[in-house]
Chains A and B, each alone.
Chain A
Amino acid sequence: MDMPKTIVVALAGNPNSGKTTLFNELTGSHQHVGNYPGVTVEKKEGDREYAGHRLHFVDLPGTYSLTAYSLEEVVARNFILHDKPDVVVDVVDASNLERNLYLASMFLELDVPVVLALNMMDVAETKGKQINVELLSELFGLPVVPVVARRGHGAEKLLDAVLAAAEEGRPRQIRINYGPELEQHIEELTAAIEAQRLRAEPEGGAAEVQRGPLHLGRGRQRRHHGPGRGHEREALKPRGMHADLALADISLSELPARWTAIKLLEDDSQVRQRVERLGAEGEALLRMTDAARAHIAEVFGDDPEIALADRRYGFVSGACREAVTSVAQDRRDWSERVDTVLANRVFGLPIFFFLMWVMFEGVFRLGNPLMLGLEIFFNWLHATATAYLPPGQLQSLIADGVVGGVGGVLVFLPNILLLFVAISLFEDSGYMSRAAFVVDRVMHQVGLHGKSFISMLIGFGCSVPAVLATRTLESPRERLVTILVVPLMSCGARLPVYILLTGAFFSPQAAGKVIFAIYALGVFLALLMAKLFSRYLFPGPPTPFVMELPPYRFPTLKGTLIHMWERGWLYVRKAGTTILAMSVVMWFLLSYPRLPADPALTAGQNAERAILHSYAGRLGKTLEPAMKPLGFDYKVATGLFAGLAAKEIIVSTFGTIYSLEGTDEKSQELRSALRADPGLNPLVAFTLMVFVLIYIPCVSTVAAIYKETCSWKWTLFSVGYTCALAWVVGFVVYQTGMLLGLGA
C-alpha cells in the first residue's frame, strides 16, 4: 500500500488569536481553549487526513514575537528552525490586525512557507473593519485565508492553501525593506555569513535555502534536543531552563542567512552564541556585527533593535493602512464596559475576593456530597477485596496498598474537577488576566508576578497542576520561585489531616478557625519565602508585567468541560501511576519486616505492633529525637513518614498505628483514640498541622517539580527547605505554646 506523504504543519500566532480553537477544528482533537495568555505552552500535536495527504499539526506556543528572551518564543522559533515544518500557519486575529501581523512579518524572514489564517473576521466586522484579503495577500506575498475558528468556517479552504503552500513553497518572496542605512548593514552581514558557509561546506550544501516539494515529509526526521548530560549543569541555573533549547545542534548553514544577519544586529543572544562557536570566523562575524551595531546606534541615536522593530512596524502598519478600511466604529464595546466594573479601582479587589470566595464555597459545598459517595464506593471496594481475596500478603497489598492508597487520593476527584471548572471559567472568560492585573501589586512586592497568583490559587486544590500552571510565567526566575513556594499553599490532600486533628482536639466552633489559621499561615509563608528567594537566591530586576487583557468572551460549555476533563485526567493519571507505585512502596515499608501475630493479643494490637516493627516504624523511632522538640513521638513521626506518598495517607496510617481498621478523618473511634494518647494534646495537634502544611510536598509534587525544573538541585532544594522550614516553624509554635502553658 502507498503510504500517504506526511506534511508537517506548525500552527503559530499571538496568544488569544484563536489558535488552539483552530487547532481543535483542524485536527478534531480535544484541547483546552483558554483566554489566558500562554495557556498552550506545551507542544500539542494532532493528525488529519485531507485530499489524500496526511497532515500532522503542531500547535506552537502563542507568542507576540520571535526573540530569544522568552521561553515560548524560543520554543516556537526553534521548532521552525530545527524541525523545519513544511508549512507554518500563522493564525492572525483580524480584529487586532496590526499587532498580529507584526509576528507574521517575522515569519517572512524565516524562509518557510507561511499561510495566514485570518481568524475572527466576524469580530473585525462588528468593530467596523473591512479587510481586503487579496490586497493583504499581495502585500505580504503570502496566501491569506479568512476563517472563523469558533464556528469552523473556512477550515477546508485553509487546508487547500496549506497543501498548495507545501507543494509550491512561497509564491513570492516579500522582503521587509529596512531602509538604505539598515539594509546596507544587513546585506553586508548576509554576504559575510553566506561566504562563511561556502567555506565551511564546499560541496555546495549552503546553496540549498529554498525548500519545495522535494522536502515533503522532512519534518518527520525529528531532532531530539532534550536535556542531555552536558546541559544538566546549565539547567541548575534559573536562566538555564532555556539551555536545552539553544541553537547548539543546528548548523549555521541551516539558518536563513538574512534572518541570521538581522538577529545578529538585534543582538540576539542565541544566534550570537551560535556564531561564537564558529571560532575565528565567528569572531570576525561578531566584530563586523559590533561595528555595524555601533554605527546604527550612532546614525539613529537609538538601539539597532529599536530601529529594526520600527521599520518592521512601519511595514506592517503601512500594509494595514492599505488593506483595512475602517467604518464608523463602536466607541466602547461591552468588554470595555465590563472592565470599568471588574477592574475598577474601588470595586476591583472586593469583586475579586468575592469571586474567589464563591469559587471555594462552590467547590466544597458541591464537592463534599460527591466525595462522600466516592468514599462509600472505595470502602465497599476495600471490603470486597478483603472478602474475596484469601487472607495474606496479597490481600493486604491489594486492599490496603492499592485500593487504600489510590482510593484515598481519588476521593478528592470531585473537588478537584469542580475547582478546575471554576478556574477554566475564569480563564476562558478572560477574567484570569484581570485577576492578575488586580493583585499584581501584592505579588510584585514579594518578587512574583500577577500570574504567579493563579498558580498559588490552583495550589489550594492540588500542588501538581499548580506547579504545571507556572508555565504561564515567562521568566525562569519568577517561575522557579513560584514553583518553590506553591507547595506551601495548603492543598486539598492536607485537609483530611486537619479535619481529623481539629475534630479530635478542638471544639466544632474552634475547628473552622483553626483550619483557617493553617491556610492563612500557608499563604503567609508562601509570600514570605517568595520574597526571601527572589531577594537572596535570584537577585535581579523582575520581568515585565506587559500582559494583554483579552476581550471578555463567553466560555463555551464544551471548552469548559474539555478543560476540566484534561486537568482532571492529569490528576487521575497521577493517582494511577505515581501514587499507585508509591502506595505499594509505602505499603511495603509499613508491612515489612513482618512480625508473627501474637495470639494473646487482639488483632488491633497486633497491627499496632506490626507497624512499629516495620521499616517505617523503625524510621519513626530513629527520627523521634529530632521530632521531640516539636512534641512529636515516634507514632507521629511514622505517620509523617507515610505522608510522603500523599499527605492524606497520614490519616489512614494513624488509623493503623492506633490499631483501628477502616478509619477516615471523620471516624469517631480514631478521634477518641487520638484523644486518649497521652502524647497528644491540642498544642501538639496544632504543631502537627503546621508541620503537615509545610513539610515535603508529596511524591507526586516532587516529581512534577523535577519535571518542570529539569534540575535535581532545585528539586532537592524544594524538599530540603520545606523540611527545614517545617521543623523551624513547628519548633517555634510548639515551644511558644509550651511557654504560654498551652501544652497541658
Chain B
Amino acid sequence: MPDLASADLSTHMQDYLEAIYQMQLEHQVARVRDIAQRLKVKMPSVSGALKALKARELVNHESYGYITLTPEGEHLARQVYQRHQAIVGFLQRIMMIEAERAEVEACGLEHALSAEALERLVALTQFMQTDENIREQWLRYLQKAPVEEKPGEVAAPAVVAAPVVAVAAPVAVSAPAQAEAEECEVEEAEPADTRPRTSLDHAAPGTVSRILKVCGQGAIRRRLLDMGLRPGAEVKVERLAPLGDPMEVTVMEYHLTLRREEAAEIEVVILQQALVDVEPGASVTVVEVQGTAGRKRRLLGMGLQAGARLEVRKSAEPNTVAMSVEGNEVHLASVIAQDISVRREE
C-alpha cells in the first residue's frame, strides 16, 4: 500500500478522497451530488476529479452512481482523514478550541504543515494525553492566559475519549420487546458514559464490549449483521489466532471468527476487560478473578475480589500494574492482572 507522502496526490485530490471517505463512514457510499455539496464545488468538477481518481484506481464508480473507495484509495484516504483528525484533536483537546472552529482551522492547516511538523504535532498531542499531570498543568497555564473561551469550557473533562463517533445503538422494537425498548432509549440517551470506545480489532482478548455501530459495506456488513454482530449486541473477544489474525469472539453465546480488518468495522464501547488493559486513571470494579486457589487467596488479602472497586494508577515499573484498592496502593505483575476481569464504570 502506498504512503500518502509518496503517493503524489494534489491537495485537491486529497480533499476529494477525504470527503468520499467521510461519506463512506457516514452513509457507506458517496454520490457526485453530495461530494459537490460538501466541497462546495460544481458537479462537473467532481466528475473530472473522480475520473482522475478512477484512473489511479483509487475509487470505484459503482452502479446507480455510487462512489466507493478501492482498498488503495481507502488506505490513502484514511491517512488524509487521520491527519485531519489528528489536527482537529490537537486544536480541540490541547489548544481547547471549540469543535466547529477546530474543523475549519484544520482544513487550512492540514495542507500547510510539512510531514515532519505534523508528525511532531501528533507526538505532542499524544504526549500531552499520556500524562494527565502535564496536561493539567498546561490547562491551568492556558486558563491564566487571555483566551476567548469561557473558563468553564477550558476545564474540560479529565478523561479524553478516543475520537470515535459515538452513535446511540438503534433500539430493538418488536411486539414482545416493546416494553423494554423505552427504557433502553433513556439509558442510551445518557451522555455521561466515560467507558472507552474503540473498534473491535483493538479490543484485547477477554474484553467484553457492546457494539455501537457496524461500518463497512455490502456483503461484509450484511454478513456481520446476519451473524448477530449488530448494534446493541454484546461481544466478547475470546482469543487471537496464533499469527495474530483472525480473532475469535463470542456473540449470542456462540463462537465466531473474524479477521481484524472486519473487526475494525465494528465500533464498540468496552464494558469489561482484563485489568492489565485498563488505562491509568480509570475506575473499575472487579468482576472475576481467575487462577489457582492460592493466588485467589493472596489477591483476596489485597482486597482484590469480585465486587471490589479500584482505580488504576500509572505504574512506574514495566510489566506491572499499579492501582489503589480501597485506599491501599497495590502493584501486580501484568500476568496476574491479565487474569483479573474488571467492569468499566459508566
CB distance from B221 to the nearest CB of A (A): 7
Q: Is the CB of A545 within 8 A of B262?
A: yes
Residue total for A at the interface (Cβ-Cβ under 8 A): 63
CB distance from A240 to the nearest CB of B (A): 15
Task: Tell me if B1 counts as interface (CB < 8 A to partner A).
Answer: no
Task: Tell me if A45 counts as interface (CB < 8 A to partner B).
Answer: no
Residues of B within 8 A of A317 (CB): 172, 177
Q: Is the CB of A343 within 8 A of B172?
A: no
Bound form: Cα–Cα A316–B176 in Å: 9
Q: Is the CB of B258 within 8 A of A545?
A: yes
Bound form: Cα–Cα A339–B242 in Å: 12
Q: Is the CB of B219 within 8 A of A440?
A: no
Q: Identify which of A99, A310, A433, A541 contacts B227 (C-beta below 8 A).
A: A99
Within 8 A of A (CB), among B162-196: 167, 170-178, 180-181
**Interface size classification for chain B:** 35 or more
Task: Tell me if A301 counts as interface (CB < 8 A to partner B).
Answer: yes
Bound form: Cα–Cα A569–B244 in Å: 40
Task: Tell me if B3 counts as interface (CB < 8 A to partner A).
Answer: no
Residues of A within 8 A of B229 (CB): 546
Task: Tell me if B297 counts as interface (CB < 8 A to partner A).
Answer: no
Residues of A within 8 A of B57 (CB): 539
Within 8 A of B (CB), among A286-344: 297, 300-303, 305-307, 309-311, 313-319, 321-322, 336, 339-340, 343-344
Residues of A within 8 A of B295 (CB): none
Residues of A within 8 A of B71 (CB): 540-541
Q: Is the CB of A176 within 8 A of B230?
A: no
CB distance from A673 to the nearest CB of B (A): 49
Taking A345-B240, A346-B242, A545-B262 as contacts, is the C-beta distance between A311 and B222 under 8 angstroms? Answer: no
Residues of B within 8 A of A179 (CB): 173
Within 8 A of B (CB), among A533-558: 539-541, 543-551
Q: Identify which of A70, A305, A539 contacts B225 (C-beta below 8 A).
A: A305
Of chain A, the residue at the smallest CB distance from B229 is A546
Q: Identify which of A67, A96, A543 contacts B254 (C-beta below 8 A).
A: A96
Can you name 21 A-B pairs with beta carbons within 8 Å? A67-B222, A139-B175, A176-B174, A300-B170, A302-B213, A305-B225, A309-B225, A313-B230, A318-B174, A318-B177, A344-B239, A345-B242, A349-B243, A437-B257, A440-B257, A441-B243, A444-B259, A546-B220, A546-B227, A547-B256, A549-B255
Task: Tell me if B245 counts as interface (CB < 8 A to partner A).
Answer: yes
Q: Is the CB of A444 within 8 A of B245?
A: yes
A 420-438 to B, binary, CB cutoff 8 A, 1 in contact else 0 = 0000000000000100111
Taking A310-B172, A545-B246, A545-B262 as contacts, is the C-beta distance between A343 and B241 under 8 angstroms? Answer: yes
Q: Is the CB of B173 within 8 A of A311?
A: yes
Q: Is the CB of A314 within 8 A of B173?
A: yes
Q: Is the CB of B259 within 8 A of A544?
A: yes
CB distance from B156 to the nearest CB of A (A): 26
Task: Tell me if B28 counts as interface (CB < 8 A to partner A).
Answer: yes
A 100-133 to B, binary, CB cutoff 8 A, 1 in contact else 0 = 0010000000000000000000000000000000
Task: Tell me if B223 counts as interface (CB < 8 A to partner A).
Answer: yes
Q: Is the CB of B177 within 8 A of A314?
A: yes
Q: Identify which of B176, B226, B240, B256 contacts A309 (C-beta below 8 A).
A: B226
Q: Is the CB of B248 within 8 A of A437?
A: yes
Q: Is the CB of A546 within 8 A of B221?
A: no
Of chain B, the residue at the smallest CB distance from A139 is B176
Bound form: Cα–Cα A726–B268 in Å: 50
Residues of B within 8 A of A139 (CB): 175-176
Taking A310-B170, A546-B262 as contacts, is the C-beta distance between A343 and B239 under 8 angstroms? Answer: yes
- Taking beta carbons and an 8 Å cutoff, which residues of A are in contact with B? 64-65, 67, 69-70, 96, 98-99, 102, 139, 176-177, 179, 297, 300-303, 305-307, 309-311, 313-319, 321-322, 336, 339-340, 343-346, 348-349, 433, 436-438, 440-442, 444, 450, 539-541, 543-551
Task: Tell me if B116 counts as interface (CB < 8 A to partner A).
Answer: no
Taking A543-B219, A544-B258 as contacts, is the C-beta distance between A441 and B176 under 8 angstroms? Answer: no
Q: Is the CB of B242 within 8 A of A344?
A: yes
Specify which of B57, B214, B229, B253 lies most central, judged by the most chain A CB atoms within 10 Å of its CB.
B253
Residues of B within 8 A of A348 (CB): 241-242
B 206-229 to A, binary, CB cutoff 8 A, 1 in contact else 0 = 000000011000111111111111
Q: Is the CB of A438 within 8 A of B173?
A: no
Bound form: Cα–Cα A550–B248 in Å: 12
Bound form: Cα–Cα A309–B225 in Å: 7
Of chain A, the residue at the smallest CB distance from B167 is A301
Task: Tell me if B280 counts as interface (CB < 8 A to partner A).
Answer: no
Q: Is the CB of A318 within 8 A of B252?
A: no
Q: Is the CB of A318 within 8 A of B176?
A: yes
Q: Is the CB of A544 within 8 A of B242?
A: no
Bound form: Cα–Cα A548–B250 in Å: 10
CB distance from B201 to the nearest CB of A (A): 13
